[in-house]
Structure 1
Amino acid sequence: MRLMFRSFGQRDAAQELMDDFTTGGPELRTALRHLRRLNRLFGASAPALYGIRRLWIEADKPRRFSILDVGAGSGDVNARILQWADANGIDLTITLADVTEEACEEARQLFREEPRVRVQRSNVFELAEGCADIVTASQFAHHFDAGELPRVVDSMRRASRLGVVISDIHRHWIPWAAVWVTTRLISSNKYILNDGPLSVAKGFRADDWKRLAEALDCPALFYAWRPLFRYAVVIGKRELHTMHRSGME
């Protein structure tokens, strides 16, 4: 309950239970299934699609391209991206990458009838150079502190041909309270109860993205606040971006 009285001025440094790789098993897989419900309720796919569409337009709307989603969990946010590809006649392939076998198994099960999706167990720091057109990370960046995050994003940039899309949570008391209540209504899973609200407290504000751009020496980094307290961050490899300063701090 300590977070009930915390300040959201700084990112929480506590480790999420999902980041302890010495645990896992069936309870973690259950957590991933419950997380899919939370993602649907809070519109987690929308900021990722916003960023992907931006890079797609800047690349002159290719009819065929690939996405690598790192830290993908069960990859459920990509279902909406596949629907968008269908609607626009795009030949899209998606690779879901996660470091835990539990997440990979959940992703394989979820997309077992989807030939456009493949799953691989891999670390974000071990990505092959230029292995996908767009590299995405949905609700993954907040697992890293400010010192680690530039290295994570650099690895994603090297792996991409067109650019990087990061979608993550706006650190604010409103989404924290909404997640705290919702997790207790839909789940008794220890990962969900602990990590759901904590992920909001570990989320971002506009100044965090400005500092990331400075750390990367990347003035082209673009960020935008999106509905339901999310951020979409886009780092393209074309020189078409200008720094966007959000109205929501």
Structure 2
Amino acid sequence: MVSVSKSMFFSARSTQAEYFDAPTRSFQEVCDGYRHLGQVNRFFHFAEPFQRLIPRFLGAVRCQNLTLLDLGAGDGTLGRELSLWAEKRGWQWRFTSLDLNPQALSLNRHHANVAASVTDLPFKDGSFDLVIASQMTHHLDSDTDICRHFAEAWRVARQAVFLNDLHRNPALFGFIWILLHMRPYPRHFREDGLISVKRGFRVGEWRDLARLAGMKKARVWFYFGAKVMLYAPKDSAATPGS
């Protein structure tokens, strides 16, 4: 009975709002939120999928010089970390960080920032070699918005789109609950972490939305029990093996 209840509980996405997305948050709350989020992201090695898979998918030659758009970049931590990682390998990865919240982007000083919506990107077709996003898509409420987000990412990408987000499952929910109670995080941050899992996705959901968004050759898969991954190459880019 317990397993059935859990399965039913996670069968559909939650639309419960996260405090993290509230426009009324003070600047100090924004700063604190990204500081806490950074701690959790480092625990999960959030840059690892990009570090491991981008070179595998694009190849070393293409990786030598890339322009990347990070959607829902927040304070720009992912872009900065990946830029430094690429630099150590003799590669140049130039990031543009896009987020709806200008306060979050103000924390990404001395870098290229754009305040805009992921459903209406202010760029020409094929403006970036690679468009990425990490755990951003679940902040969108409707399938219509998600499909538009996918389509816009596809439109402005020249070589490929590479996205990931949380997989909606009870095991991850339980693990996140334990992790968030191991440190004295604010109550709303703990609640948001659990809501994020409930707002997460299943592989089939992303596969259907990618097809509706016109992402040819999109591959969607379950990643290490915690994430849904999507990689969609343009005709000129490498296609990952199945």
TM tier, shorter chain? 0.7 to 0.9
- Pairing of 1:148-163 with structure 2 (within 5 A): 148-163=145-160
8 Å CA contact 1:48–1:166 kept in 2: the answer is no
Q: Out of 42, 45, 59, which is 1:43 matched to?
A: 45
Q: TM-score, normalised by structure 1?
A: 0.82
Q: Out of 198, 210, 215, which is 1:213 matched to?
A: 210
The one-character-per-residue Cα deviations of 1:175-211 (angstroms, maximum 9, x if unpaired) are 1112122223324334412211111111111111221
User: Are residues 242 and 67 of structure 1, via their aligned partners in 2, closer, same or farther at CA, if it must alter by over 3 Å?
Assistant: closer
- Pairing of 1:2-17 with structure 2 (within 5 A): 7-17=9-19
When structure 1 is superposed on structure 2, of 187-196 and 7-16 the one drifting more is 187-196
Specify every segment of 5 or more residues in structure 1 that has no aligned partner in the other structure, as ranges.
245-249
Structure 1 residue 128, shift from structure 2 partner: 0.4
Structure 1 residue 122, shift from structure 2 partner: 2.5
Structure 1 residue 43, shift from structure 2 partner: 2.1
When structure 1 is superposed on structure 2, of 191-200 and 232-241 the one drifting more is 232-241
- Pairing of 1:187-202 with structure 2 (within 5 A): 187-202=184-199
Same amino acid, percent of matched pairs: 24
8 Å CA contact 1:223–1:232 kept in 2: the answer is yes
Say which structure, 1 or 2, has more relative contact order (CA 8 Å, 6+ apart): 1
Specify every segment of 5 or more residues in structure 2 that has no aligned partner in the other structure, as ranges.
none
**What one-letter code is carried by the residue in structure 2 that aligns with 1:66?**
T
The one-character-per-residue Cα deviations of 1:4-58 (angstroms, maximum 9, x if unpaired) are 977111111112122222334211220111000000112222223345334422x
Matched, 1:126 2:126: no
Alpha-carbon distance between aligned partners in 2 of 1:190 and 1:142, rounded to the nearest angstrom: 20
User: Are residues 190 and 159 of structure 1, via their aligned partners in 2, closer, same or farther at CA, if it must alter by over 3 Å?
Assistant: farther
Aligned counterpart, 1:184: 181
Aligned counterpart, 1:142: 138
8 Å CA contact 1:127–1:155 kept in 2: the answer is no
Alpha-carbon distance between aligned partners in 1 of 2:113 and 2:216, rounded to the nearest angstrom: 33
Alpha-carbon distance between aligned partners in 2 of 1:228 and 1:40, rounded to the nearest angstrom: 17
8 Å CA contact 2:218–2:232 kept in 1: the answer is yes
- Pairing of 1:2-81 with structure 2 (within 5 A): 7-57=9-59, 60-81=61-82
User: Are residues 85 and 219 of structure 1, via their aligned partners in 2, closer, same or farther at CA, if it must alter by over 3 Å?
Assistant: same
User: Are residues 147 and 199 of structure 1, via their aligned partners in 2, closer, same or farther at CA, if it must alter by over 3 Å?
Assistant: same
Structure 1 residue 219, shift from structure 2 partner: 4.5
Aligned length: 233
User: Are residues 191 and 104 of structure 1, via their aligned partners in 2, closer, same or farther at CA, if it must alter by over 3 Å?
Assistant: farther
Moved over 3 A (4+): 48-51, 239-244
Q: TM-score, normalised by structure 2?
A: 0.85
Structure 1 residue 87, shift from structure 2 partner: 3.8
The one-character-per-residue Cα deviations of 1:97-134 (angstroms, maximum 9, x if unpaired) are 111122112222xxx6xxxx423323221330232211
